[in-house]
Amino acid sequence: MAERFMRLMVFFDLPVNTKQRRKEYSRFRKSLINDGFMMLQYSVYVRLTRNHDDAQKHLRIVEANLPPAGSVRAMIVTEKQYTQMKLLCGAQMKDEHFLDTKDLLEI
């Protein structure tokens, strides 16, 4: 059975008005990075997963590291949907890449 690559996207808006809130923001952001997420743009992180079940596993990891305040949303999209994303303004980041299916199998 062929794998169906997915992207798990996490969007967040967290308060940073106190030292404690900044610490919570930093802890949450670092937990995303440690779980293999890359920053797509400020407060938007994305992770490649092999299939829907893998995406659900990483979503549970995100949920386990939620900060006590703020807004955090997640969305799972297929790799095909993700590659349809249009960059309307600005430039593609160095780290951002859309992989060929052959490249995905090596991950």
Domain ranges for the chain, please list them: 6-104
pLDDT tens sequence across 35-67:
999 999 999 999 999 999 999 999 999 999 999
pLDDT of residue 32: 97
Is 5 within 8 Å of 79 (Cβ atoms)?
yes
pLDDT for the residue 95: 63
What is this structure's pTM? 0.82
pLDDT score, position 86: 85
> Are 5 and 14 a contacting pair, CB within 8 Å?
no
Would the pLDDT of 100 be above 70? no
Class of residue 68 by CB neighbours under 10 A (exposed 0-12, middle 13-18, buried 19+): exposed
CATH of 6-104, one of 3.40.190.10, 3.30.70.240, 3.90.110.10, 3.40.50.300: 3.30.70.240
Measure Cα distances from 72 to 33, 44, 63 in Å.
15, 10, 9
